[in-house]
Structure 1
Amino acid sequence: MEAKRLTTNPITPAGFTLLALLVFTSGFQQQAIDKLHNFERLVLNSVVGPESLAFDHLGGGPYTGVSDGRILKWQGQGLGWADFAVNSKHRDYLLAVITGDATGRLMKYDPETKKVTVLIRGLAFPNGLAISNDNTFLLIAETSTCRVLKYWLQGPRTGTIKVFAELPGYPDNIKRNPRGEFWVALNQNKLQLNGQTAPEQHPVALRLSQEGKVLEVLVGGAMTSISEVEENDGTIWFGSVDMPYVGVYKL
């Protein structure tokens, strides 16, 4: 039987992005959507790209690596950022996505033998690791494929890998929170990277359960190009590839 043609109004790129977001979020047991319009900015001086964040065991920090290769430490309000160390400059991450580079590897380093073992080859821009609370598996944010992979470290499936979560955008790191859940930062949604305009309500971060279910979606606003979400002591800290500040959002 011949299929009937459906006549509909054309959907603009912005409308398509919003529709894709609604379809994505409605398919999961979602607890909340927060619009990140009101958050504190820890402004950097003459540099951009506070891409990754970390705290020391005494609660100091955050520390962040920035685009010119330095690592900075937050000294507190009134004191701002101070140089802490010098690392190296970032590679051209956008080129890796566009060319479909799949030369990434997951490697294990043994500090006793000082040997490195390659566990997985052929990853498409692996861009962040997080280990589960019980150390039975680790998660890999694979940027080019817009997904998170799960690799078993213990148990009958040790050494095997599967897709843990499909994402609506390009992940740029994954961090475990104090409850054993996982925050995935979304650097760009798919339409943005293709040069089209997305509405303000695009997802910038997801909170995933230990089973890969979406628990929370944080939606855009002024905070864009998110590279990392670090939850610490009731506060979410946002890194970014190209913004001149670190975002701070109270839960």
Structure 2
Amino acid sequence: MASPQILFSVFIMFLYVFGTFVSGQFTKFNKLVLPLEVTGPESAAFGGLLVNGPFTTVTDGRIMKWKGSKIGFVDFAYTSPQRTKELCDGTTNSDMGPICGRPLALSFHPITGLLYIADAYFGLLVVGPGGGLATQLAGGFKFLSGIDVDLLTGNIYFSDVSLTYTIRDTTQPGFKPDSTGRFMRYNPFTRQVSVLLSGLNGGGGPAVSSDGTFVLVPELTGSRISKYWLVGPKANTAEFLLNIANPNKIKRAGRSGEFWVAVSVGFIPPAPLITPKGVRINSNGVVVQTVEFDKEFANKTISLVQEQNGKVYVGSRFTNFIGVYSN
């Protein structure tokens, strides 16, 4: 019979293999607080050693960069050429979006140093390490919501919510989402946009696998995730992966082949109480961990759960901070 020490070692190895021991439950909480009167950090991105971060998008149209606890968040970039600080800084008026911009998602390419942006009004944009006014790569969209860069090819994968309504429409009485969302690819060498999937119950943001073989595509209002294959015998086709409540942005997790999904149970259809969660899944759609954030994000939807250096960063359009969870 095996000794207790051997059994314990096997148990620890089992936990390591299946990820529970490695990731922990992220019970320690801290905040990265935005400047006064600034809200809505829906996305985050981390750069390399020189640009670091996190960067985040906020309601008034800015992209801000974290400079440490002594300085906090500072201005980094913006998406609208009409934007002025006097008119836009601190605004929460949705009617100002076409003037001030509303960036909703970020993805950083560490090799080029470029930060790619999905803006609800100004489409697909990019800005260099120096920040400032971003350059539009592709426009004419109603409502972009998510973005991710394939680090192997440089292709940019992004999604729009609808062909018929804008972000402002979602707050109107009686609003009902449709199924005209799309999943697209931008080739930075040819500068061409290709529609890969259409007819989606849109929202959220895609995530490219670390080996570049597939992209996970969420449907926020459809409560499901699909896998779109980039290479192999299934290339250029999609298959159902997982039913999950209101999946928003998906981000690669710390372990290769795994992803974090920002989930807000009770968001659609509306429920009396919303439960925000981070759900970690593997490439086969198996849930390997669930972390609830209802204590710090009580009855609020979340849009982002992103792991970086052993910590999990949580973003929401309804807070003035990014939540940081650690073990």
What TM-score does the superposition give when structure 1 sets the normalisation length? Answer: 0.78
Partner of 2:240: 163
C-alpha spacing 1:93/1:47, structure 2 compared with 1 (3 Å): farther
Partner of 1:10: none
C-alpha spacing 1:154/1:192, structure 2 compared with 1 (3 Å): closer
Q: Which amino acid aligns with 1:43?
A: V
Would the aligned equivalents of 2:254 and 2:310 in 1 still touch at CA under 8 Å?
Answer: no
Match of 2:30 among 32, 35, 40: 40
C-alpha spacing 1:177/1:244, structure 2 compared with 1 (3 Å): same
What SS does the corresponding residue of 1:139 show, helix, strand or coil? Answer: strand
**Distance (whole Å) between structure 2 residues aligned to residue 241 and residue 116 of structure 1:** 28
Partner of 1:154: 231
State the 1:101 CA deviation.
Answer: 1.6
Partner of 2:201: 124
Match of 1:214 among 283, 287, 302: 287
1:49-68 pair list within 5 angstroms: 49-58=40-49, 60-68=52-60
Would the aligned equivalents of 2:169 and 2:175 in 1 still touch at CA under 8 Å?
Answer: no
Match of 1:142 among 219, 224, 231: 219
1:91-240 pair list within 5 angstroms: 91-92=167-168, 94=170, 98-167=175-244, 169-180=245-256, 181-186=258-263, 188-190=264-266, 193-197=269-273, 202-219=275-292, 220-223=294-297, 224-240=300-316
Would the aligned equivalents of 1:34 and 1:217 in 2 still touch at CA under 8 Å?
Answer: no
Structure 2 stretches of 5 or more lacking a match?
1-17, 80-100, 103-119, 121-166
State the 1:70 CA deviation.
Answer: 0.4
**Distance (whole Å) between structure 1 residues aligned to residue 26 and residue 254 of structure 2:** 21
State the 1:37 CA deviation.
Answer: 6.6
Would the aligned equivalents of 2:19 and 2:288 in 1 still touch at CA under 8 Å?
Answer: yes
What TM-score does the superposition give when structure 2 sets the normalisation length? Answer: 0.61
C-alpha spacing 1:194/1:176, structure 2 compared with 1 (3 Å): same
State the 1:124 CA deviation.
Answer: 1.1
Q: Which amino acid aligns with 2:326?
A: K
**Distance (whole Å) between structure 2 residues aligned to residue 233 and residue 37 of structure 1:** 16
Would the aligned equivalents of 2:262 and 2:277 in 1 still touch at CA under 8 Å?
Answer: yes
What SS does the corresponding residue of 2:246 show, helix, strand or coil? Answer: strand
Per-residue deviation, residues 81-137 of structure 1 (Å, max 9, x unmatched) = 100011322424746995232221111222222211111111111421111122111
| Alignment: residue pair count | 218
State the 1:191 CA deviation.
Answer: 6.2
Partner of 1:3: none
What SS does the corresponding residue of 1:128 show, helix, strand or coil? Answer: coil
**Distance (whole Å) between structure 2 residues aligned to residue 211 and residue 93 of structure 1:** 35
Q: After the TM superposition, which of the residue ranges 217-226 and 188-197 deviates more from structure 2? A: 188-197
Would the aligned equivalents of 1:237 and 1:248 in 2 still touch at CA under 8 Å?
Answer: yes
Partner of 1:4: none
Q: After the TM superposition, which of the residue ranges 68-77 and 111-120 deviates more from structure 2? A: 111-120
Q: After the TM superposition, which of the residue ranges 94-103 and 53-62 deviates more from structure 2? A: 94-103
Match of 1:71 among 57, 60, 63: 63
**Distance (whole Å) between structure 2 residues aligned to residue 243 and residue 203 of structure 1:** 13
C-alpha spacing 1:95/1:160, structure 2 compared with 1 (3 Å): farther
Would the aligned equivalents of 2:267 and 2:301 in 1 still touch at CA under 8 Å?
Answer: no
C-alpha spacing 1:131/1:240, structure 2 compared with 1 (3 Å): same
Q: Considering only aligned residues, what root-mean-square deviation do their CA atoms show, in Å?
A: 2.6
What SS does the corresponding residue of 2:182 show, helix, strand or coil? Answer: strand
Partner of 1:17: none
**Distance (whole Å) between structure 1 residues aligned to residue 62 and residue 191 of structure 2:** 27
